[in-house]
Structure 1
Amino acid sequence: MFSETWLLSGIFDSEIMDARYTIYRRDRSINNFNNKTDGGGVLIAISKKLKSERLPNFESSCDDLWVKLTLRVGSKAKDIYLCTVYLPSPIQPGLLEHFVDNTNDVLEHVDSCVIIGDFNMRSINWIGADGNVIKVPQRACSSLEQTLWDFVLLNNLSQYNYLCNHNNRILDLVFANLENVAVSSPVDILSKIDPHHPPILCELTFSHVLKPKKCSPRVRLNFLKADYVAISAALKMVDWTEELEFSMTVDEMVTRFYEILNELIQRHVPQVVVKERKYPYWFSKDLIKRLNEKNRLRLRIKKYNNPLDSIAFESLKKRCNHMATSCYKTYMSDIEAKIKSNPKYFWSYLKIKRGGASSYPNSMTDGVNSSEDITVICNYFAAHFSKVYCTDQSDVNTNLHSCLSNNTLNDITVSQDQIVRELKKLDVNKGAGPDNIPSLLLHKLSDSLSLPLSILFNSSLHRGIFPSLWKETKIVPIFKSGCQSDVTNYRPIAILSVLAKVFEALICPILSRHMSQLIIDS
């Protein structure tokens, strides 16, 4: 949890932390209490192994951020509500009252909560005369303190942080209505220490917390190491005129073709386990080894508190920081050197900076209703994207139908040589469509597949039926701008089967010659 992040919309989440975390941010924006657009801002990062969800309805006009964390405690699910807040100094009474009033309303509906943030209440002394921490306030010296005292007492909260800054003040507070909360100074830190705001480690202890279930490893086919010689020989042995009988429908032909091809793929294409990348891609093996060594030292310090281990830890930490800086500079120099010879390397870097694959909030809305159910969310997207395809039928040229009847596609025949040429043109780096057949396989087996594909394409043309399987697409919602939980802020990208695009490439020039004079301007 971070307060006063000073982040802006142009900074990507992947520039802050790696892909192991779900980043929830609330960057500063102009509101009734602050007309500055810079500074401020709060952030919560949750491990992706844990189920979490941002709660924008809980947030006030201040710099506060609410996230619900769901744990498995025993046989039941337990929700922990986390809040981080930044209240700029000097504290305005109206700002504190607004935050307190909003949080009072929130806490009426939640059981377990932890509120951590920079409250900038420098006049409060949380250390008693006996040297012990004051978890529950006793008295207040000002109206601001009285507002905070009332808030703590009303909601049965306790304050757990007593780590002072260099001025012997406590500006960052930890409020919770939970037991077994421990706040300490971390052994390992994320950044340089701010003397006004030393980092704190807050540990919550629960009994019988179940670890998240490990998902079975994801397995994929490695088409780069496929035995294409064996697949090609097997395809040439198939009697395609018998397998793709003329008595079959076009859909039945296509289904049979995929059955034969997929059977050979399963036999001759090896499977590989997709491993999760634990460290950034530019880390060297030596750096990873030193980091693991540093982590083992950190655990030893926590267990035995040996001064010699602390000295070794500090030395190793400096070495790791130096190695990380060196590895990153080497990686960046490599990208710059290859930007002309291998531009894909640069765009891969940019994609990672942008966060890699698109991720979507747990809860989505269509503008009226909200849901966390995956099926319902998919229907939200489907309903929104279908509006794109609404056309005005009044603009249809009535002469087009009569012209089409005189220029049918029945007489068009696609040759095997044409198919081979189109398959050879395919970009082997492109992925597969809904049929899971990648361009690489079709490119490698162009000669062997030309015969069955010519039968399929010509049967489709002569019968005037396009195969149903090639009409299926994968729709990927791409975020544009605005609120990420609103489906109206996404645009669709359709991923087609490669064979459907090959068929289109063969027919498009012929259609263009026939239709160029028939299509109306509108």
Structure 2
Amino acid sequence: MDNNIRATLGELQLLRAPAWGSGSLQTKGKRRRRCERRQKRGKRAGVLARLKANANRPPIPLLFLSNVRSLDNKLDLLRLRMNVSEEMRNCAVICLTETWLNQTMPDSAFQLAGRQLFRADRSQLSGKARGGGLCVYINKGWCTNCVLVNSHCSEATEQLTVKCRPHYLPREFSAVFVIAVYIAPDADANNALKELYDNISSLQNKHPDAFYVVAGDFNHVELKNTLPRFYQHVNIPTRGNNTLDRVYSSVKDAYKAFPRPHLGLSDHISIMLVPAYHPPLRRSKPTQKTITVWPSDDTAVLQDCFGCTDWQVFREAAECEGELDLEEYTSAVLGYISKCVEDVTTTKTVTYYPNQKPWLNAEVRSLLKARDAAFRSGDSDELRRARRELTGVKRAKAAYAQKIQGHFSSQDPQSMWRGIKCITDYKSNVAQSSKDPSLPEALNTFFARFENPDTPPSTRLPHSPGEEPLSVTPAEVRRTLRRINPRKAAGPDNIPGQVLKDCADQLSDVLADIFNASLIQAVVPTCLKTATIIPVPKSSTVTGLNDYRPVALTPIVTKCFERLVQTHIKATINITVDPHQYAYRKNRSTEDAISSVVHTALTHLEQKDSYVRMLFVDFTSAFNTMIPQTLITKLSSLGLSSSLCNWVLDFLTNRPQSVRIHNISSPSIILSTGSPQGCVLSPLLFTLLTYDCSPLHPGCHIVKFVDDTAVVGCITNRDESSYRQEVEHLEDWCRENNLFINVKKTKEMIVDFRRGKHAHLPLHIGGSAVEVVDSYRYLGVHLTSNLTWSNNTSTLVRKAHQRLYFLRRLRRAGLGSAVLTSFYRCVVESVVCSSINVWHGSCSAADRKALQRVMKAAQRIVGVSFPSTTDIYTSRCRKRATCIRKDPTHPAHALFVPLPSGRRLRSIKCKTTRLRNSFIPEAVRLLNST
């Protein structure tokens, strides 16, 4: 640099100081050079900043909605706003309601530069001479391939549907449907909802993978119950304090609404809907997994290997002075099996992409690469040829659908359902655990928080003279091994279930010897009770350690051992000793537990001056707080042998436990409290622990389904003393058995139909008041304080509508009616008819109509007639009543009393319609009518 110039720059203080050199240290408070930053500079956050950075390629359209009240008067204002606002210029869709246009006004007078106009004026079919009208403007910079699908005008609704295939569209969407809607304030809401439902349902049947956005002035009509799979995005008032203009879409959290000024003198504010949707390819990063590759002859090789093995060598090596070291014997056998499996198999690393489908094979990927190369080259002829050849994608998808159809024909339901889930993405949104390396150890400590170091060591029961320990035969072990599900994950021993199942004949003798040695010594080897916890998020949003569910992964060999012991326990102990427990009992279900609660309440409410208080108890980690010593004392009192009680005690104590997330494992912790969630014996042991939790007073009932406990207090003349004593007794019982009641999640519901308002004193547990609710979800069914079923029915309808989407995708894939029918019965009908015996007889006509609407939609999709919900209810109710009558141990068996003739049952006296339409009285009438 010239010296004169340098001097001038120095005088102006524009020369860089020497300290800014690349080799110098940064001084505090000064800006760092970009090359010296250790990480990339961040960007502004928020949907507006993201839209501004990618204005020409939004994943879903940027939408502007306004009720203009005469477009003719607002057109200049709209053009002015587009000239001065970049946001309006980039807007992909402009949806206007109440345009007040008619046939005498030409389209050319209302064109906007760079946009395509679609309009639907009010006709005489609406019964009104003026007003109404819809307009949709599509930005040609966003989409040029757009067509008018339909327009509809009636006394109830005005609709305008436009189909768009924009220049850029995420792979998960096949098209974008924009549906503009106007519903007059005096329109009939039911008719309007029916017309909207018919239009949208027919579009979804033809285009299940499309993105739908329904925008307009809805006034007093809401789509929440009719189209529960559509989500409303406008959460601000649009006229006064009311939200009349709404935008629904088929994707949750797809938009974020921002208010914009009125257009002229319109009495509605305008709304700008900014895309907040993230495509799956951006939400999830590609993942790498290491998989095991099994050669074609692996089964034969392993069978020959295990068949030629002298297993007696392992036993002799573990014996010392005639005493068998069971720990060494078991570890050697399992280690040998694992080593043989490692010698036969190989591993490889594969990459999974979030939008990867099995029909995207090598041929399809090469066609996509050829298309991209032709696009980059700029050769239009080559690009047209490459796009024509992309029909190979359709052929590959059709071939995959035919493969699934072949699985159905060849009686391979497992492969069929795996393919169906892949096509429909059914239950694919699983919350992922954090990758924080310190999380596994923190979770392991949290899951072991119930371990009390001051607890005295467990004491084994004395051996009873003449008592023979349990023994199993190789044939029993062989049958258990052959029933293994090969798709279950291997435990800490890394022995796959497929190997145990295929080599059952070769391994049954040595495993039976290990099992019998364990039963004789009443000792469980440490390698068989080691557990690896795989934390599963309880919901999509994780806020703390308590939002993870500890699912234990134990060796598959241990699960087989537990099944053999479980069979013996059930044969030894009369599990019907607890009539209030409905779980893990033959001819019992959640439906029976719910019916018991509802029938008890309805029967008591027939009396004068009566009401019912229901307490739904929630336990804190019930399985993890069991004291093994308390458990075996109860098992012994129930008649289980002392040797097997000691075996259970050893199985639950001194258990090594670690937590694994991805490829990170925590150090092991030794536990002697609780039972691992995921073990075969855990649910049975818990139900036996709670067998003595029974009511003290005849006016109180306790209904249990594992740890879901409900206390029903039948109160007359406002005397709640027995109910409150029952709750205090339950507190004492929980304290003695080391179970902790979670008062925050424990809820109480009061059913009181007496005239006038009556104040009810709150119930306290552990010094804290229990919250009183009007609705509670008990065992999957929504109970309400007025004992109506609208809340439950609307929930079922909403869930069924969501699953109809998967049915539409299967139909779009070209699967046959037999596969569609099977999917419907397993996925849709199972939801609609969940616990139908409890609630269908008492639900309202509107609820039955909503249920039947789902059935009719499924019939149109599949093309096959399905039975109505009433027919299903009648059939299931009669079948269930017959099963209860044949089971004298069932708690409801005493309600089916035969008349002296023996041909009919005694009718149940009912004063109210509520009781008359419930399950038990209706079942008696159905049996008497046959």
Gaps of at least 5 residues in structure 2 are: 1-34, 65-80, 88-112, 117-137, 143-165, 179-271, 276-285, 578-637, 639-687, 694-930
CA distance in 2, matches of 1:487, 1:333: 45
Alpha-carbon deviation of 1:416?
Answer: 2.8
User: Could you say which structure has the greater relative contact order, defined with CA pairs below 8 angstroms and 6 or more residues apart?
Assistant: 1
Alpha-carbon deviation of 1:249?
Answer: 3.3
Cα 1:298–1:384 shift into 2, 3 Å: farther
Contact 1:187 1:298 in 2 (8 A): no
Contact 2:318 2:325 in 1 (8 A): no
Q: Which residue in the other structure is 1:244 paired with?
A: 318
Q: Which residue in the other structure is 2:843 paired with?
A: none
Q: Which residue in the other structure is 1:324 paired with?
A: 393
CA distance in 1, matches of 2:433, 2:141: 32
Contact 2:469 2:520 in 1 (8 A): yes
SS of equivalent residue, structure 2 residue 292: strand
Give per-residue Cα distances to partners, 1:454-488, cap 9 Å, x unaligned. 33222222222112122223333444445245554
Q: Which residue in the other structure is 1:231 paired with?
A: 305
Q: Which residue in the other structure is 1:124 paired with?
A: 84
Alpha-carbon deviation of 1:331?
Answer: 3.2
Q: Which residue, out of 267, 277, 292, partners 1:220?
A: 292
Correspondence 1:81-100 to 2 at 5 A: 81=43, 83=45, 85=47
CA distance in 2, matches of 1:74, 1:408: 82
Q: Which residue, out of 540, 557, 561, partners 1:503?
A: 561
CA distance in 1, matches of 2:401, 2:348: 29
SS of equivalent residue, structure 2 residue 351: coil
Cα 1:274–1:323 shift into 2, 3 Å: same
Q: Which residue in the other structure is 1:375 paired with?
A: 438
Contact 2:327 2:526 in 1 (8 A): yes
Contact 1:81 1:114 in 2 (8 A): no
Cα 1:426–1:360 shift into 2, 3 Å: closer
Contact 2:534 2:552 in 1 (8 A): yes
Cα 1:169–1:512 shift into 2, 3 Å: closer
Q: Which amino acid aligns with 2:331?
A: T
CA distance in 1, matches of 2:524, 2:490: 20
SS of equivalent residue, structure 1 residue 273: strand
SS of equivalent residue, structure 1 residue 457: helix
Q: Which residue in the other structure is 2:38 paired with?
A: 76
CA distance in 2, matches of 1:475, 1:407: 40
Contact 2:289 2:351 in 1 (8 A): no
RMSD over equivalenced CA pairs, Å: 4.9
Q: Which residue, out of 464, 480, 485, partners 1:422?
A: 480
Q: Which residue, out of 335, 339, 346, partners 1:271?
A: 346
Q: Which residue in the other structure is 2:471 paired with?
A: 413
Matched, 1:345 2:403: no
Alpha-carbon deviation of 1:499?
Answer: 0.6
Correspondence 1:481-500 to 2 at 5 A: 481=539, 483-484=541-542, 486-500=544-558
Alpha-carbon deviation of 1:453?
Answer: 1.9
Alpha-carbon deviation of 1:245?
Answer: 2.0
Give per-residue Cα distances to partners, 1:491-517, cap 9 Å, x unaligned. 343332111011112222223344437
Contact 2:535 2:551 in 1 (8 A): yes
Alpha-carbon deviation of 1:311?
Answer: 3.1
CA distance in 2, matches of 1:407, 1:500: 29
CA distance in 1, matches of 2:446, 2:421: 27
CA distance in 2, matches of 1:497, 1:77: 44
User: If the length of structure 1 is used for normalisation, what is the TM-score?
Assistant: 0.51
Cα 1:424–1:262 shift into 2, 3 Å: same
CA distance in 2, matches of 1:356, 1:277: 14
Cα 1:280–1:229 shift into 2, 3 Å: same
Cα 1:422–1:379 shift into 2, 3 Å: same
Q: Which residue in the other structure is 2:338 paired with?
A: 262
Q: Which residue in the other structure is 1:293 paired with?
A: 370
Cα 1:85–1:415 shift into 2, 3 Å: same
Q: Which amino acid aligns with 1:311?
A: D
Q: Which amino acid aligns with 1:373?
A: D
Alpha-carbon deviation of 1:256?
Answer: 1.7
CA distance in 1, matches of 2:290, 2:413: 29
Matched, 1:360 2:432: yes
Q: Which amino acid aligns with 2:380?
A: S
Cα 1:235–1:126 shift into 2, 3 Å: same
Cα 1:327–1:484 shift into 2, 3 Å: farther
Give per-residue Cα distances to partners, 1:98-118, cap 9 Å, x unaligned. x99xxxxxxxxxxxx968675
Contact 1:385 1:491 in 2 (8 A): no
CA distance in 2, matches of 1:505, 1:124: 74
Alpha-carbon deviation of 1:437?
Answer: 0.7
Cα 1:346–1:386 shift into 2, 3 Å: farther
Q: Which residue in the other structure is 1:23 paired with?
A: none
SS of equivalent residue, structure 1 residue 239: helix
Q: Which residue, out of 523, 530, 537, partners 1:465?
A: 523
CA distance in 2, matches of 1:437, 1:114: 51
User: If the length of structure 2 is used for normalisation, what is the TM-score?
Assistant: 0.31
CA distance in 2, matches of 1:476, 1:381: 10
CA distance in 1, matches of 2:548, 2:294: 32
CA distance in 2, matches of 1:82, 1:496: 47
Contact 1:290 1:316 in 2 (8 A): yes
